[in-house]
Amino acid sequence: MEAELVALIGTGATTVVGLMVTDAWGQVKQRVVGLFGSETGADGVAGELEESRAVLVAADGTAAEDDLRSDVTASVRLRLRRLLEEDPGAAEELRRLVDELAYAARPPGTVHNSITGGRQGGPVVQGHTFTRLTFRTTGDTARDRTD
């Protein structure tokens, strides 16, 4: 097997297993099942993935966590290798899936905003798109100030 495909299989397995223990798994699972579905049937694949996920979730924070993650990753890697050996055309679908999932697998970043340059007399909102914002405040209002 080509080195590029071996790397793709490794990345795919690591990405899938990493997502199993995140909130994104509910959305990702169907894509993964679709990739493996023709191999053993969608119901069987979904069941095996959920069993693996349950093992990983239960092991979170325990001494066995790393070993279990490694075992599940190896299992997914073997399954991906078998898939690509049987259907070399599935490599492109796996590549697309890995590209899409890589974004979901990234840990959330930290955002820190600060406001400078004057006095703010009310709420400040930073973001991209806002609709129908309503602010109800009590206390200090422009009429109450005598500056």
Q: pLDDT digits over 26-71, tens only?
A: 888 888 888 886 555 667 888 899 999 999 999 988 999 999 999 9
pLDDT of res. 50: 93
pLDDT of res. 53: 94
pLDDT of res. 78: 94
Mean pLDDT value across residues 134-145: 65
pLDDT of res. 24: 85
Instruction: Say what the pTM is.
Output: 0.67
20: CB partners within 8 A, 6+ apart: 49, 52, 53, 56, 57, 72
pLDDT of res. 72: 95
Chain segment 100-113, per-residue pLDDT in tens: 887 765 666 666 77
